[in-house]
Amino acid sequence: MKRLLMLFVALFAFFGLTAVLHGSGNDYDYTVRFTAYFDEENEIDVELDGNFGDIVTFDDENWDDDYEFAFFIVDGRARPELPLNHAFRILGDMEIEAISSPKNQHAVVFIDTNVELIEVKYVADGGNLEEPDVTYTEYTKPNYTAITTAEDRWYDPVTGDTSGTLANITASGVRVLRYEIDEESEYVLTVTEGEKLTPPNGVIDEERYIYNTVVEVKAAEPREDEKFSHWEVEGEVVSYAETHKLSVVEDTTITAVYVPDDVTVDRDVPLVTIRDVPLRDPEKTYLMQFYLPDGHELVDYGLLQTTDQGDDTLVFENDDHRVSARKHVGETREFIMSTNEDITAVKAYIVTAVGENLHYTYSRQVNFRLFGDGTAENPIEINNWNDLNSIRNEEAAFDPDQTIHFKLTSNLDKTTAGYNTHASETANADKGWEPLGYPDKRFTGHFDGDGHIIEDLVINRPDSDNVGLFGHVGVSRSRSVTVIENLYMKDADVTGNRGTGALIGRVTGNQATIVRNVGVIDSTVSGTGATGGLIGSFNSFATRGAADRNPRLQEAFVEVVEVEGRGGEDLDRTFEKIAGLVGCSQKGSISDSYALATVTITDAAADRVGVLVGCNVLRGRLERSYAAGTINLESDAFATTNVGILIGMTDANSVLNATYYDQQLDTHPGVGSHPDGIAGVTGFNTDDMQGEAAATNMGGLDFAEMWMTTTEYPRLKASEDFFTD
């Protein structure tokens, strides 16, 4: 018979809490179901409604002295660490169970390592427990299975005991299911600009670790006039703490990033990152990690998910999207979650409280392709920003031993699905677009823009290298071909550090790396070195050999593009390789290309500055191309060297053939620095390079097949539709 106790005369207390919902200000009605279990026969149920952000508490002053509170179970998860008077924030419909036991008995909850409830058992003081009657082979997690022998299967998280935990029970408590490694795996952890502090176990050698080993890393001492900023994994900021911990679950490179002393680093903003890790097939598995500044209390965390590929509303307020996580690793602040094959997009979230305010922090959004199989005959279709972002989830796009094909099927701009999430000025914690490809994960696929335009792209990553729509591109061997072609950009606003361009931050490839029929107009690009309006750095892996091993840039242009080489207060540093088209071509081949651009150097010395190319060196080739524009040197503090309209600097190992520049718009020479006897460069006045006069004077350009005259400067025939549409 159920006992009716006057347990909670003042059982539930609600206190208003101001919720910060990104300006929405909406209230959400939720139901909270409380069940108090006193023993195996007695329980009390209470249901009440509350609004989002309200706080619910038990009134522990009215607790019956005949019973001992043991723990809470919240939405099916055991929470033995919570006291009876814990303040629960309402974040959705909730089911809260308060487990108690009579004074002469004890309640023991059996859970797995995800805090998933297996069973609650009651036992007399000093008695022995029988373990739950379940099939333990069904309890698995990536690379682990439940221990098969009953006497070793459970451990007590309070005492740390791993044997004898079911005998002589003298207190209520928790028993956690133990696992053993199913298949021992080894992974490499690489630390750049920092060091690894030796973990207590799991070490194989200086680089390799057993799966799931927790490793602590520490940033190196900063160079003079610099300071530590943050840690990055795959281009994402994972922590602002100089000492950081992470679990090794795949081959990983973590990099400490440093910035000049005068740069402000905001460490008071929470962040959460998401990585796709290959742990469960066919499910998708994600490793999330969050950073909490001082003063932020963790309230909730998990995944937002959808089955709608075009859904751009993955926000916490949508209950249909939200799945709370079951637990996180306290010392690393990581948690792992999996989704089924129907899910097409996910985003990690954390909710934190500062006083009476709730704050919502999101990771980047991860999307999956729906159309195409990646072959040349059936390329993966890119229809919106969500699809474009999903390229980073295709492992084949970063595998140099194969070529996966993508095709842009429509123009992308600020009205296209996914823009606010991925490419706007507020995307990715105000950093804008996250570039595709990193030094240890270069893009090696085939991207065909099919003549479409990517418009309104914003990137604001002044402390990051290799910044652009594509971050780092290229193959080191020719078993596959990397191609980016038939793509135009407009109204881009891109800011990076070294290796910055609107289209590509850095190319490091060979003759199988090809960029052709591409262009950027009406855009601004800012960087500190190797910065160009189209491409920042254009280089070859091959240090020896002839120019036939160079990566190739063909039929490329920039028009009305402003490129800035910036310095700030760090005036002792020289900022080099800044240009309108390509910051520097080292062992690269550029042909049939042009730049109509303005290049500005602010607050710093500069070296190798040009309207077309900053430098063309080390067997670089520049052919059938021209430049027209101006170079503004705003710094009075230092002299600026190697400045030219066509090229800032070239050398004796490089080739210039049929190249031209407008000598009337700017007083700088065509080539800033060059060996004696340089040929292949001609300067003209503006009128001589425009209209029909261009075909007569610039005879090295192929006006029959490749080029066409206009009322102004010549243009490429391949881009005719772009300028006439």
pLDDT recorded at residue 11: 35
pLDDT recorded at residue 63: 65
pLDDT recorded at residue 229: 93
State the amino acid at position 413 in one-letter form. Answer: D
Residue 187 phi/psi, 5-degree rounding, is -135, 155
Question: What mean pLDDT comes out for the span 535-555?
Answer: 80
The answer to which of 431-435, 494-498, 500-504, 545-549 has the lowest mean pLDDT is 545-549
Who's near 696: CB < 8 A, 6+ residues apart? none
Q: Is the pLDDT of residue 568 over 50?
A: no
**Placement of tokens 């609107």 in the chain:** 502
Q: Please choose, from the candidates 183, 244, 172, the residue with its C-alpha nearest in 3D space to the C-alpha of residue 212.
A: 183
Q: Is the pLDDT of residue 541 over 90?
A: no
Confidence of residue 454 (pLDDT cuts 50, 70, 90): very high
State the amino acid at position 262 in one-letter form. Answer: D
Question: What mean pLDDT comes out for the span 244-261?
Answer: 90
pLDDT recorded at residue 2: 27
Q: Is the pLDDT of residue 283 over 90?
A: no
pLDDT recorded at residue 669: 92
CA–CA gap between residue 484 and residue 316 (Å, rounded): 36
Residue 115 phi/psi, 5-degree rounding, is 65, 15
Coil, helix or strand at residue 466: coil
Q: Is the pLDDT of residue 106 over 50?
A: yes
pLDDT recorded at residue 25: 38
pTM score: 0.63
Who's near 416: CB < 8 A, 6+ residues apart? 384, 385, 410
SS (H, E, C) 629-698: EEEEECCCCCCCEEEECCEEEECCCCEEEEEEEECCCCCCCCEEECCCCCCCEEEECHHHHCCCHHHHHC
CA–CA gap between residue 651 and residue 671 (Å, rounded): 11
Q: What percent of the chain has pLDDT over 70?
A: 87
157 membership: H or E segment, kind and range: none
